[in-house]
A = this chain, B = another copy of it.
Amino acid sequence: MSRTEPRAAGFIPVAPPTLADVVERAGVSRQTVSNAVNNPDLLRPDTLERVREAIDEMGYSPNRAARNLRTRSSQLIGLRVLPAQEGTANAMMDRFVHTLVDTSAEAGYHVLLFAGDNDDPVGGYDHLLRATAVDAFVVTDTYLGNPQAARLTEQRAPFVAFGRPWDQPQATHPWVDVDGAAGTRPATEHLIAKGHTRIAWIGWRKDSPIGEDRRAGWLSAMRDAGHATTGLASRVEDTVQSGAEAAAVLLDESAPTAFVCASDTLAMGVLHTLWIRQLAPGRDIAVVGFDDSQVAQVFPVGLTSVRQPLEDVAVAIVRALETLLGHLPPPAQGVLLTPTLAIRGSS
């Protein structure tokens, strides 16, 4: 009832010109106007010119709903957003989303955000899919145990994951990921080159494959350099508090001169402990974080951090989506990108 009464709301919607309007103005048929927009090659140059003029003069854009209905595609990519985390430094989704939007736009897609919560990982996907409201999904939260990937595969829904299917080696869906070990290894080597030998690791719980991946880079760099690692590794929750406590314990028991952390959040914890103990980051103790968050960038002396190539990730994801949706030849199954190291005052 009330849904159909926009006039009551005080603003009068202006109906945009339709294809029929252009038809009348240009003096050609529907299909010709349609072709002028979608297959210009089919028209004779002078006809094309005439139609295009009419289109420009009237400011015509094809009605999305009508086009979507006919072509059975929405030119939309679904992205589920999780509740914002407070008290952490993980604002990297921001950077990712920006590039994703830009790149998708170039490929003719828009990004549709939908709500999701941790309790119901597959919620939202089904509905959008059955309503053909989106053409494909970008799945970003695969680290949670990843029921979405299996579910979406089962439903034959096109999607690309940001993150490897760690616990499902048989998975066949396309994915893009960042090589964590290839980030922490140069970070550790960077510290070794600065003369450090006792370099500690603060990472995540053992059941986090991403955490173990990042840890592996530290471990291999240390081993290759012939430095001991016993008593220098700690695995905790991803909070500032945990990082601070882990750093305190490590400093007391193993006297490291440098820390490599699985996240900027943990690194901030280390910096907190250094602050309390009157130790200067960069001079007394070196610290390296992971994610190159805004926190790392604006921290007084600057926090050296492993920077994920999120822009490249977004581009790779859109490429994969395009192949998946049939615009381009064969899809690559997995893409693994290498992070870089942003060196700042803390190391």
- Interface flags for A1-25 (1: CB within 8 Å of B; 0: not) read 0111111111111101100000000
- How many copies make up the complex? 2
The reply to whether B10 and A331 form a contact with Cβ atoms under 8 Å apart is yes
- Please measure, in the bound complex, the distance between the C-alpha atom of A298 and the C-alpha atom of B89, giving whole angstroms: 7
Question: Given A65-B74, A300-B272, A91–B130 Cβ distance below 8 Å?
Answer: no
Stretch at the interface among A143-151, A203-211, A225-233, A320-328: A320-328
Is A193's beta carbon under 8 Å from chain B?
Answer: no
Is A88's beta carbon under 8 Å from chain B?
Answer: yes
The dominant DSSP class at the A interface is: mixed
Q: What residue in chain B is nearest A13 (Cβ atoms)?
A: B156
Stretch at the interface among A26-34, A56-64, A163-171, A250-258: A56-64
Chain B residues whose CB sits within 8 angstroms of the CB of A298 once the complex forms: 87-89, 240, 265, 268, 295
Q: Which of A43-72 contact B (CB under 8 A)?
A: 59-66, 68-69, 71-72
- Interface flags for A96-120 (1: CB within 8 Å of B; 0: not) read 0111011001000011111100000
Q: Which of A76-96 contact B (CB under 8 A)?
A: 76, 81-84, 86-91, 93-95
- Interface flags for A112-138 (1: CB within 8 Å of B; 0: not) read 111100000000001101111100000
- Please measure, in the bound complex, the distance between the C-alpha atom of A110 and the C-alpha atom of B13, giving whole angstroms: 20
18 A/B residue pairs, CB under 8 Å, sorted by A: A59-B130, A60-B130, A61-B131, A64-B68, A64-B74, A64-B133, A65-B68, A68-B68, A76-B112, A84-B98, A90-B294, A91-B294, A93-B94, A101-B115, A111-B112, A111-B114, A268-B298, A272-B300
- Please measure, in the bound complex, the distance between the C-alpha atom of A258 and the C-alpha atom of B97, giving whole angstroms: 37
